[in-house]
Structure 1
Amino acid sequence: QLPADDGVEVAFAGRSNVGKSSTLNMLTERRALARVSRTPGRTQALNIFDLDPGQRLVDLPGYGYAKVPEALRRSWGPLLEQYLRRRGSLRGLILVMDIRHPYGPHDADLIAFAAGCGRPVHVLLNKADKLSRGAAIQEMARLRRIPELREVAMQLFSAQSGLGIDELHERIATWLTPEAEKKPPADAGANSEPSKGGEDS
């Protein structure tokens, strides 16, 4: 049921309680574009938001939330694996983390799998407004020292205050420009393996 695999799109991923929907709403200046709920795990499909013709944002299901029905969580693994490996119009992945509880096992699995598929990842350390400026910078510096994150783009962000919104706009604009319309080879990521951690990676 995905739209035709042409044009360009950027996908948003992250745990179910990190503020993915709020980030999309802040980015598009549409307060109710993506549904914001007090109950994590509400995004239970790939939600597509059209921008200009041939440009899309994609809200991926949140992962790692135990109250989502088991059968549904099991279906996400193959769905996301196929999407990340085969989607020719996908230009990059915005990975939203809560800066107070960043980089869990599911985040690590997703970054590794995206790298195996040749998909660039840009990390948003959301809710940075909940920390002092110094503490937020210190936490980002700590994350940058993790070997698996040294080559991953990363920024401070707040979907509530708008901190970092200009940088995020620039990143997405870069991915959505016509120059980015170079599809990966059909076998991109064919040698990579999905996470062994289970169905909600």
Structure 2
Amino acid sequence: MAPIMVEALLGAVDRARERAGFLSVEAVAALADDGVLVLDPFSTLVSPGVALAGGVTLWPGTIIQATEGGEVTVGSGTRLFPGTRIVAAGGRVTIGAETEIGEEGGFTIKADHPGCLIEIGSHARLLGGGSLALANHIGDGAQVLGPIRMQDCRLQSGGSHRDPDPDRRGGVLKGSGVARGLTVPTGMVIQAFGLFGEAPLRPQSFFHPKPRA
């Protein structure tokens, strides 16, 4: 493709991005100057003012959008995998360090009204096409595993999924369906395929037996 055509195409792309409230391709690529690893700036959308710490990895197809005074902060070493969409439309999304979001099918996080706060701690995992809406607190080491629609839930902090004692890990939801207004304590898990409020709360060692001494 001739250089003039490439320049015209890039200009059209950047104008569309600006109208939608996103950084230009060049500005996304320049996040590398702050230590952010952007694997494909052409397919990655980031709003101005989003706070990304050094060591964050943005895989192709990730979207981080802050509008209407919304705020998004992402801690060091966190990885956002393809299909991850984070929206703060008047609300606030905070993500800690060394967290994994969106592997195995993407993930959607929406704080889409004023005063809405979604907190995600460090060393957490949110995988498999799920979503967070309204207020949610995902503590350190907590996990959401599967296409689960969460609203107003709390997963309490603990060790990460690598902690050798499963009953010390952060709270876990696994399966698929809808979870509303639930609290999962440290070391506990709810597995469901439908309504999580109707499923039992079990220790994580029920699914992951402790290693024998």
TM over 0.5: no
TM normalised by structure 2 equals 0.23
Higher normalized contact order (CA 8 Å, seq sep 6+, divided by chain length): 1
TM normalised by structure 1 equals 0.24
Report which of the two structures shows the higher radius of gyration computed on alpha carbons. Answer: 2
**Between structures 1 and 2, the one with greater strand share:** 2
**Between structures 1 and 2, the one with greater helix share:** 1
